[in-house]
Each structure stands twice: as structure tokens, then as C-alpha cells.
Structure 1
């Protein structure tokens, strides 16, 4: 084969490769290219819709390019013409790929105008145009998506039936890696010691500690505010734990929630009256009852005509027991009820409980809205002659189950309670609302029940399960109603993605956060007593100022905040992950009549895992917003006397964080935990996430304490700090330190979103509600709007009869990586 214009002698063989792509660069001479080469030329050929595999299928072993005159010789050639040709139609141009026989196979020959190099240049130009067009289309698509998202956002705001839950969860790491910490016995070479000066700038008012009490009469004033450094430390450590994939340092691994039991009466349950208490206020003995009778509450109101709320749990009565008859409520289901002829025989009893008297027990009527007030019964029990002690563990079990009650404020159980005869007896008025088929809603007071706050006193009534202990009768299973609370299934320990997430216990093997902030092993119960003398802790490498304070007087004012109750991890629809939740309502589980899918242990195969670390969204409406914003107390009877002080928005808290003998990486993460705004400069952080803020102080669910931070750092070599020649490290270098966060860090997008000031709509952050944001102008509408428990009841998967309300599956919390965090409170099919 001869190629005109090519000045080398070519000896074609089974594999033809005369020149390579690097040699051809800048030349327009012909040459052969081995089809096995992986280079830009092969990529360019794909523009002809021809791949090396196609070359091979045609038997070709090489490609000849160029504009030179090419002549062919060989037995398969006819008249010097190739046996076939392909037209390149990609760019509507005229180059021809011809086949030519050659020893060992066939060659594809580029023949014609333009030259191969010109064709490449044209392709590159077309590529640039195509890329620009693709980019333009992508920008247009992104703009359309942005407009659609804004329209969807606005629609969710306008319809008034969508809200954003105040908190979300940043996913947990699949595993926590531990290592030996630096220790405190010597300074490691290359480690750093110094301090960080931090200033926190309040973007919303900050709720101060309960014990903050400035001088004066409670009116707004200007004072210098000092905030304990320990509270700042907690906020910084929580961020450090997320950023370093550390353990859950503050967690009750054995926590098991209690749930409201299905509406049924345990046949073994009996009423009892507390008769004796220990010096610490805990009950020790109760007087059990031998028989249970049910009486309409309105019949008892004849003895309390003006104030029916004075019908209290623990009230003693007598009546004619002969007027009791068994009433049937289903196949084989009976209960004893006082007949109408026995109504006139009811009399109030006074003094201490006596055998033969009956004790009244008033329970909550919230689950009985389908019944008119005339069908609301209270249980009464006939007292026996002798007291019985509480079984071992019965009191602790009762108090643990009380933790799930709405009567418990800020997660703190009451330790003592006033006696039933005391004027300050603590009760809750039981109101009943019934909506008949015709006419307005009816409201009645049933009576007053004892608070389920973990404390009981002499004279209080309680349900018990009689049992035997050591051959003697005792009382166990204490509860506030016949169908009260049951334990869930699957503790926190069992629901973690990996056991390595449990708090650190070995000072020689710590997670990244405990290696810097230190740890003290959490112990409880018998384990604490047995190991009380064994020290199992690691001292911290960081220390916060005793106080962070303002450098000048700032405005503070006292407010009545809305009620703040303790967290409800028992709400498994929010606190547990639901990978099978289906859009758009994020429903999960199988709806069952009377059985909640949200309970820990319900529909758990396998066990649903903990959703993650809890964070509250940033955002707060203006105080003069109408209707009332969520951070402002509505006109409700709850927490009338609760008061808290607020430090005004725009104030600045300053303090110092000392560190000793930590690595540069640990310092970089510490700086980022103090000033999370540094997340915005990381690869992998979402764009346009707004200002990143941290939470300080109390009232986080109400949007209080959002703050940004600025820092300066001073550090020196830890090992050489005592040498006279040691000088501080360059401040600019320290400030420019970047934590080694990989772009694909699983926590980065979620944490950045949770800390963003613009992630969600501030005017729709609200605890779950069945109300409509556009219909809450009156006090009654606002009170109903605030009743979050109704939302949980409607969407827990524990369905009620169809004639009451539509069946609804369990609604779950949106994952933090979902574009919209709105939740709907509408039933499917409702408009």
C-alpha cells in the first residue's frame, strides 16, 4: 500500500499503528491509528456514530486519515476502488469513510474534504455550541423548577392546611469510629493550645434561664446579661458530635416509651385508695376494692349543683348496692351499672375511708366524644377492710409511665403531692365535648381528676392489679384509668443503626467528640451502686468561660410564654425512620381500628430505627403578627403563672473557649462547631441556604435564641508553650483552617439545611394541628388550633369508626433531604 504525501515506508501488519495522536497534533498528514488506542481521536470518531467495535465487526484493523491521494493494490480491489463506503451524515458534511483491503485485515480511509483536523475543529465548535445549549436548557429547567417550587410553597401557605413541624432530624452515621485520645500527661508534638474568642449575635430574642432574675419589679429594663458557659458548651458539643460522626453522648439507651392502651378494661383491675405514704412522699400502702360499679357522672352532679368540678377522684360515697345490675356490651361482655332507681340512694361520705364505702374515680373523657354527657360513666369501687402494700417496683413503674403524660411539665415528675383533703389538692378539670347530629356542640364538666404527674397522696384513688408477693397480697400495675398506658417494644439501644453509636465507656477508646470534650460514663440503678468507686471518665481538652456576657446593658423583658412540655419520643411517627413512607402525604403502616401504627413495636418488622439527631428549625414571626405568632402566649388557662425573661434581638454575647493539646483537625472542627457559618464554604454544602445559625438558651421550639457567631483564634505549639522562644502561630493561617469534611459527608446537606435561616417558612412553623391557618381569628379557634394531640390521634393509624371521621394511615415526618418540609392535615379526598 502506498500513501501519497506520507514520507515513511509503511509495512502494514495484523495490527496497524504508524503514528500516534500526539504526533498528529498540529499536522494534516495522513496516518494509521490502531483501533485499540484510547485517546481523544477515538472519542472524536464516535461523532460519526461509528465505534471501534463497529470497525472490528467490519474486519478493519486501522484507520487512515488525511487529504492525500491514496492508491490501493490487492486482489480484492476492482478498478482501484474500495469495496464499500459509509457516508458521515452527522454534521451534514461530505467526508467519506472507505474500506480498503490490507494485509491482516481492512482499513477505513478518511477521504475527502474537509481534512480530518478541520473536521475535529468543527466538531469541537459544535460541541461547545451543544454544551452552551444544554447549559441554557438546564438553566431554563432549573428556573422552571424554582418557579414551580415557589408556586407549590405559596399554595401550601395559601391553603392554610399545611404546616412545618418545629423540629427535624439529621441522619445518624452508620458507624462511630473510636481511637485512643491524646491524653493529658504530656503535650503531643504538633498539637495546639490556645483559645477562641467567640461572639454570638442574636437574630431572635433569647430565652434566659429559669433562675435569671434582674433587679426591679419585672418591668422591661437594661442590664448586663451573663449566660452560663455550660449552656454554650452544650450547643457547641452537639454540633461537634454531628460534624465528626461521634457517639450519642446524651441518650437513655434503655428508654422505652409508654403508649395509651387500647380501650379495654383488664378484668383483674381494681380501684384502690392511697392510705399511707413514706417520708419522701411515695405511697407505701393502698386500700383495695372488691367490686367495680359504673355510675353516670351527671347523677353525681346533684351533690355538686353549682360546681361539678368538685366531683373529684377519691370522693367517697354510699348507695344501695341492691340497685346494681349487669349490663351487656357485646358477646360475653358485661359490666355492673347502677340503675336509675338507685340514683336517689347516692350519698356523700366524709372522713377516712371505711370498709363498705365506695370510692369515685374520675378519668379523662377525651376518648369519649362520640357519647353525650348522659352516657359518660365514672367507676366506683367498694372498699375492703384492710390495706395492702405496693409490690416491689410498682411505684417506679408508675412514675416511668407518667413521663408520657401531658400533665408532666418540662419532663420533670412531681415528687410530692398535697393530700386529698388539702385545699391545694392538684387536679385537672375534665371537660367533655359532644357534637350531636343536629344542633350545636355540647360542653359539660365531668369532674376533676388527679394529675398524672408522678406523685400521689393519701386519699387519692388509683387503679391497681392485685398480685401476690412473698405469699402476701400486694398492689402492682398502678394506673390512672382502666385503659391507661402500656409499654412500647424495642428500646433505643435496639433501634440504633449500630451499637457503636452508644455513649463512650472506655477512656482508652473514644469517639472524636469525647476525645475532645471528655466524657463521664452514664450509670443508673444497681450498676451505679455497684461501681460507685470506680472512676470511668476522661477529662476535657476544652474549657468554656464560666459566663458568656454582653459588654454593655441590653434590653430584657418578662413574658408569659406558651406552654412548653417535655419532648415526646414516644411519637414513633416522628421520632422513628420510615423508609416505606409513601408520598405525597408520607403515610406508612397499616391502618387498624383502635391500634396505633405510631407505637414503638407496631408494624416493626424489622425494627424501625431512630430517625437521627433532633434539630429545631430557625424562624420566628414578628411579635405583632396577627393572628398570634407561635412564640406568644395565647389566652389559655395553662401556665398562667409561668414567666421567663427574654434578652432582646440584636444583643451580643461574648466569651472565650480554651483548648489544650488538640490537633489541627480537632481545632478546625471546633471552630466550625462554634461558628457553623463555616459550613457554607465546604464542597458538598447546598447552595443558597441562607445564613447558618445556632440555637442558644431555652424556647427552641418557639424560635428563640437563633444566633450567628464570629470567632478569632490564638494558638501556639502545645509542646513548646513553656519555652521562651515559642511564639503564637500565624492568626490568618489559623482562621483559614478548614476541617477535612469530604464532599459526600452524609450529615453535611442535612445539618446545613437544619441550621439555615431560610430552609422553611417561618410563618408556618407550628406543632401539628388540625386547624387552618386562615381560620384562627377568635380565641376559641386559636385554642382548638393549638391542640396538637388531635392531629396525632387522627393520623396515628389507630383509626376510629368510619362514621366518625375518614380512615387515615399514620403520617410521618418528612426526611430532611426532601425539598418540601410541609405536612398536610387534610384527610385523603378532602378539599
Structure 2
């Protein structure tokens, strides 16, 4: 039962996800030599609405006609949808099917966790990007005749604001008089937007090289990966898809195009950037296209994950069972069939509604280190993947990732209506209480591996749930699994004849302990997999702001802005003053709730005519925005 429902939590929420910590050491593949082949017959029952898309059409419903770039999907079925047709009304329902590949992914994730295996689906080449409180300095990357790269300090010889008619500047190499001096070979760094009134932003800088920073080591690949990741993080912002932001999008794209041309050239040349170092004399440097921007970590996810990065040569239990590629590649020992509805009824009766538009859901925001990283020991007040702040002093150290990401189960899913736009999606979900049947075929596995699979597929008997399909943060996709029967295939020679038998195998006595699962993660897994861990009276949501009493608006970026406000000085302007007010609670914390932030918004956009706060139906796409500030840099004509 829920363990945090004994108190009034009207002003608190539970974040949709949390993390199961990584053990001290990764397990190695088992050494058992016994072999078993057969099938597990099982069912899954939806505990909340479920959605798996039929990707044969991204415009299944009329919302895609009414709203430009709005995608809409029917539930997966064996029907190949016509992209020109709209599937609405009772005659346009299809019997839902769950692809076996969906179940395979869910089971593998759980199996990896419970066997202390690697994180096989980790995108280990990704470098986390985070908003930086530091002001970056002007710089120029110089490529010499031997294609070596050097970083130079640079000075801004000329600058312009958004109302300057000369804001569209000619390419570098031009000559222009500025304050009576002749400027030659100045390099243009242009922003995509500027402020207004007293807050006019500098819209461009013309940079000239000064002295070389000899401690910094630059390579072609490092320059490309750092700058591409920063600019791509801006381009990935859902806000940039709005027509009003098209100018910014074009400017970002120009910067990337010019970077590619610069790196592909063999001749000498300069490329304008901004840069920052944690300490004077560092070899590593943060590169960006603006004075106030983001910093990309020195470490990728593979390095941050240590030995739990995907296996390469020595394999873990999950890679041994599910298959792996590498020097000694191996196929999977198990196969999941598609799952079919158990009870035959009219197709329309399987669905929760004809269709519903969901709130926009963004990609994982690794830059939210207050959620994705463990707080360093001691009195740390701020932490990132590369450093932390303690006593207003910068400590350089690699961050510690929290572990494997899991979503809490919702006991009640509020299916609020949201206005379609280019950021969200319209879907047709299967309703709660629908049972599907499927088979898990195994070949040549040990009895230990079989027991482990049986326990996972029978975890619903312990009131534990798995998460399947899309929209998990909104509560969709909770399922309960139960095993109906296990059959083992045996082949023997009797009286000079080959005899093939299917024999029933007892599975009721299989439990977590005799399946020999990890003892270090059990308590955390049972907590977050429990279908009733969180009371239905407590809202499970991404962070958001209280606009007025009992009225919350999904403005997650504002929550994080407030969460990074230094209580002594306000918003920091250097790394040493950076601050994190509240970190994500651990799964096993006594109180796993967090507090909404409060604001005195009077903007008519968020208030109705009576002055009462508008409930955004927990479906606003506002939470997809992040704390980027107003300056969104990009470049043009850089060489």
C-alpha cells in the first residue's frame, strides 16, 4: 500500500521518475551448463490506459489536418493504415495487438536491473549538456596550414543591437571603419534574436584574435562534438518549432553549416566561438557560440556509467540471455511473440476513448543534474557532471549518475484534453482492464535463467507492475504480468526413435530469492514497481508552479529557475555561486514528494477574466521549455 498518504500533500507532488542505484560491481554471465528449451505462456492486463503506436500513419486523425505538423497515431494493429485517410468513428477501429518487441524491451530492462547487468540500451556516446551560470569569453579557433587547431583570446571590435540597420553584416575579410580605426579580418558572431527597449541585446560581435591560449588542446573531433552538441541542444527545444521562433532556428542551422565548412577546409582560417575553463591553465575547455550558454560535459554517458556501460568483450547475464554483438557475437536465447486480446469483443470496446491529445513530452533532460546526479558527499551546494561547488569553492570531479531510470505507477490517470499543436500528439489508447496473451520462447537456457524469466513474467502476483508503451510520465502503460503455464520441450531417443515431448513445468514456487536475483536492488525495485506505492491523492507530475491557491500551471522551466536561485545572492553569475535548492529524493526516502514553487503571475495568458488562475489541465506544453534565458546564439559567415 501507499506509504506516503498519511499527510496533507496538497502543495506537493511526486516526480514521474526516479532511479534504482547501480551496485558496486557488474555481474558476469552465469556458468551453469544445464540447458532447457520451451515456452512460457503468460498474460498482461492493463492497469492504466496503454498506447503503442501504429507507425504506418502519422496523420491518423483529423487533428493532423487542422494543425500544421501535428502528429496523430492509432494503436498498433495488423492493419496497414492509409496516410490520406482519417480513422475516426466506430467503423474505423482495429483490434489492438502488442508487438513482441515491446515486451522484449521492457523485460530486458527489468532483467538487467535485477541481475546487476550492464545498461544495454544506453546511448554511451552522448555528452550531457547543461546550462552554465558562467560568462564565456570571446575566442577564435585558428586552423593552421598543417590543420592543427589553436584557441585564441579575442576582442570584440564592433557590435550591434537588434535595431541596428547594419545587423546583417558582410562576411569576414571585409574592411570597415569603426570609431576611426580600420578593422581587417574581423570575424562575425551573430545571434538569432535581440531584446527590446532598455534590455536590447547585442546582436553580433566582430572578433579579432589576440593571444593564443597555449594550455588548451583542440582536435577536429573535439571541436565538432562540443559545438554540435551545444547548438543541437538549442535546436531540439520544442519552443523552436513555433513559427515565431523560425528566425532563431535558421540562425542555429547557419552556425552548424558554417562550422562544418570550417572543419572541412584545408586552408588557414578562424572560427568565432566563446570559451570557458574551470581553472586557469586547464587543457579542457568549454566551447559555445554565446557569452551565456551551455556547457557540454567532458565525459560521455559511457564513461559516467563505468563498467555498467554496454558490454564489449566480457558479457553480463542480460547480454548472455538476450544476445549481444562484438568480437564474440551471440544471438538471443529467447523470443517474444506478439500479444493478442484474450476476450473477443467489438474493436471499439477495447479503447479508452476515440482519441485524445496528450500534453507534449520532451526528451530526457540530462542537464537537470539536481535530478540525474547524486549529490556529492559533504556540504555541496551545486553539482554537475564535471565539478561541484562546496563552500563557494569549485571542486573538479566527475559526477555520479543516480542509476537506472524507472517510472512510478499511477493509480489514477486523468485524461485531460489538450489543444493540438506541433509539439504534442493525438493518440487512441487501449483502456484499463484489457488482457492480452502471449508467449515467451526460450532455447538452451539454464534453470536459473528460466526461473528468473518466470518470476518477471509472474510479478503481477506480487502486485508489481511493469511499464509498457508511450506516455509513461502521464501514467500510461502500467501492466500486470502473470504466467499461465510453462512447458519444456525434451527430445530423446526411445526404441531407436526420436521422441519429441512437451512437458508442463512447475513454476508456482519460484520467488525473488530462489531466482537468485540481486540483493542490492530488491528494496528499491519493489518500491517503484509496486502498483500502489503512490496514493491516488498525490499528484505524479513533472515540477510545476503554483499560480494561485489550488491552481498549478505546468511551467517546469520556471520551477528549475527557482530551484537554482542562490538564497544569499539570487541568480548566480559565476560557477562558484551556483546553487541547487532541492534535489530529487531517493526511492527509499521516507518522503519522496517535492514542493511546487510559487509565483505571483498576473499575466492574462495564465489568468482568466475573473482573476482566478487557469488550471492548465496538467496538459500545457510549457514544461517542455527549459531554462535557457533569452539569449539564443547562432552564427553566420564565420570564415
- Is 1:653 aligned to residue 445 of structure 2? no
1:164 aligns with 2:14: yes
Tell me the CA shift for residue 755 of structure 1.
Answer: 1.0
Identify the residue that residue 278 of structure 1 maps to in structure 2: none
Q: 1:392-447: per-residue Cα shift (whole Å, max 9, x none)?
A: 4455443322454473469xxxxxxxxxxxxxx966636xxxxxxxxxxxxxxxx9
Instruction: Please report the RMSD computed on the Cα atoms of aligned residues, expressed in angstroms.
Output: 4.6
Q: Distance in 1 between matches of 2:186 and 2:517?
A: 75
Match of 1:747 in 2: 521
**Is the contact made by 2:411 and 2:534 (CA closer than 8 Å) also made in structure 1?**
no
1:412-561 equivalent positions in 2, closer than 5 A: 429=244, 448-450=247-249, 456=253, 472-475=268-271, 477=273, 479=288, 481-496=290-305, 499-506=306-313, 509-521=314-326, 536-545=328-337, 547-551=338-342, 552=344, 553=347, 554-555=350-351, 557-561=354-358
* Alignment correspondent of 1:437: none
Q: Does 1:237 align with 2:237?
A: no
Cα shift at 1:233: 0.2
Which of 544, 550, 563 is the aligned partner of 2:360? 563
Mark the CA change 1:567 to 1:407 in structure 2 (over 3 Å): closer, same or farther. same
CA contact (8 A) 1:247 1:503 kept: yes
CA contact (8 A) 2:159 2:204 kept: yes
Alignment of 1:168-183 (within 5 A): 168-179=18-29
Name the structure 2 match of 1:362. Answer: 192
Aligned-pair distance for 1:572? 1.8
Distance 1:193 1:706 in 2: 30
Residue 25 of structure 2 aligns to a residue whose secondary structure is coil
Helix, strand or coil for the counterpart of 1:400?
helix
Q: 757, 760, 763: which is aligned to 2:534? A: 760
The alpha-carbon distance between structure 1 residues 378 and 605, as it changes in their structure 2 partners (threshold 3 A), is closer
**Unaligned regions of 5+ residues in structure 1, if any?**
1-145, 183-187, 271-287, 304-310, 327-335, 337-354, 366-371, 385-390, 411-424, 431-446, 522-534, 582-587, 591-595, 624-630, 681-690, 777-781
Per-residue CA distance 1:313-343 (angstroms, 9 max, x = gap): 96989xxx889799xxxxxxxxx9xxxxxxx
Question: How far apart are 1:538 and its partner, in Å?
Answer: 1.1
Distance in 1 between residues matched to 2:204 and 2:340, nearest whole Å: 58
SS at match of 2:332: coil
| 1:374 and 2:245 correspond | no
Partner residue of 2:447? 664
Contact 2:333–2:445 (CA<8 Å) still a contact in 1? yes
2:95 pairs with one of 218, 221, 224:
224
- What is the CA deviation profile of residues 289-308 of structure 1, one whole-angstrom value per residue up to 9, with x for unaligned ones? 9854132x4x46xx9xxxxx
**Aligned-pair distance for 1:577?**
1.7
- The change in CA–CA distance for 1:572 and 1:662 in structure 2 (over 3 A counts) is same
CA distance 1:248–1:718, shift in 2 (3 Å): farther
Aligned-pair distance for 1:357? 13
User: Is residue 500 of structure 2 the alignment partner of residue 734 of structure 1?
Assistant: no
Query: Residues of 1 paired with 2:224 and 2:98: CA distance?
Result: 38
Q: Find the counterpart in structure 2 of residue 433 from structure 1.
A: none
How far residue 751 of structure 1 moved from its aligned partner, in angstroms, is 0.6
2:35 pairs with 176, 191, 199, which one?
191
Map Cα deviations across residues 101-128 of structure 1 (whole Å, 9 max, x no partner). Answer: xxxxxxxxxxxxxxxxxxxxxxxxxxxx
Structure 1 residue 479, shift from structure 2 partner = 4.8
Residue of structure 2 equivalent to 1:716: 488
Q: Helix, strand or coil for the counterpart of 1:207?
A: coil
For the 8 Å contact 2:139–2:272, the answer to whether it is kept is: no
Deviations 1:85-104 (A, max 9, x none): xxxxxxxxxxxxxxxxxxxx
**d(CA) in 1 for partners of 2:299 and 2:375?**
15
Task: Give CA-to-partner distance per residue, 1:737-765, whole Å, 9 cap, x none.
Answer: 33525698111111111111221244411
Deviation sequence 1:4-40 (CA, Å, 0-9, x none): xxxxxxxxxxxxxxxxxxxxxxxxxxxxxxxxxxxxx
Matches within 5 A, 1:617-628: 617-619=408-410, 621-623=412-414
Q: Aligned pair 1:639/2:423, yes or no?
A: yes
1:819 match: secondary structure: coil
Alpha-carbon distance in structure 2 between the residues aligned to 1:617 and 1:194:
33
> Within 2, Cα distance between the matches of 1:601 and 1:205?
42
The separation in 1 between residues aligned to 2:3 and 2:501, in whole angstroms, is 57
Match in the other structure for 1:332: none
In structure 2, runs of 5+ residues without a counterpart are 56-72, 142-153, 209-218, 274-286, 390-394, 599-639
Structure 2 CA distance for aligned equivalents of residues 356 and 178 of structure 1: 58
1: CA distance, partners of 2:328 / 2:515: 31
Structure 1 residue 482: deviation in Å? 3.6
CA deviation vs aligned residue, 1:572-631 (integer Å, no higher than 9, x gap): 2211122648xxxxxx623xxxxx6345423466544221110011116453xxxxxxx6
Where does residue 333 of structure 1 map in the other structure?
none
Q: Is the 8 A contact 2:388 2:397 kept in 1?
A: no
Aligned residues: 513
Is this contact kept in 2: 1:170–1:612, CA < 8 A? yes
How much has 1:493 moved relative to structure 2? Answer: 4.2
- Report the Cα distance in structure 2 between the residues aligned to 1:819 and 1:261, rounded to whole angstroms: 32
Pairwise CA distance, 1:812: 1.2
User: Could you tell me how far apart the structure 1 residues matched to 2:501 and 2:49 are?
Assistant: 41
Q: CA offsets, 1:104-157, max 9 Å, x none?
A: xxxxxxxxxxxxxxxxxxxxxxxxxxxxxxxxxxxxxxxxxx999644xx32x2
Residue in 2 that maps onto 1:185? none
Q: Quick check: 2:40–2:483 contact (8 Å CA) kept in 1?
A: yes
| Residue aligning to 1:610 | 401
The correspondence for 1:794, drawn from 535, 544, 562, is 562
What is the CA distance between 1:540 and its match in structure 2?
Answer: 1.0
TM-score (norm: length of structure 2): 0.68
- What is the distance in 2 between the residues matched to 1:543 and 1:265? 52
Q: 1:815 aligns with which of 571, 586, 589?
A: 586
| Corresponding residue of 2:280 | none
- How far 1:537 sits from its partner (Å)? 1.5
Between the aligned partners of 2:570 and 2:408, the Cα distance in structure 1 is: 36
Give the SS at the match of 1:673: helix
| Alpha-carbon distance change, 773 to 490 in structure 1, aligned in 2, over 3 angstroms | farther
Alignment partners' CA distance in 2, 1:249 and 1:364: 44
- In structure 2, relative to structure 1, the CA distance for the partners of 1:244 and 1:770 (3 Å cut) is same
**1:35-46 correspondence runs (5 A):** none
CA deviation profile, 1:490-536 (whole Å, cap 9, x unmatched)? 4434444xx44232223xx4311122111124xxxxxxxxxxxxx54
Could you tell me whether the CA contact under 8 Å between 1:265 and 1:482 is conserved in 2?
yes
Q: From the superposition, tell whether residues 715 and 374 of structure 1 become closer, same or farther in structure 2 (CA, over 3 Å).
A: same
SS at match of 1:646: coil
Deviation, 1:794, is 2.2
Q: CA deviation at 1:676?
A: 2.3
Q: 1:622 to 1:223 in 2, by over 3 A?
A: same
Residues 159-218 of structure 1, C-alpha deviations (whole Å, 9 max, x = no match): x2x221110011212112314667xxxxx6x42211112221111111222615466623
CA distance in 2 between partners of 1:760 and 1:325 (Å): 69
Secondary structure of 2:526's partner?
A: helix
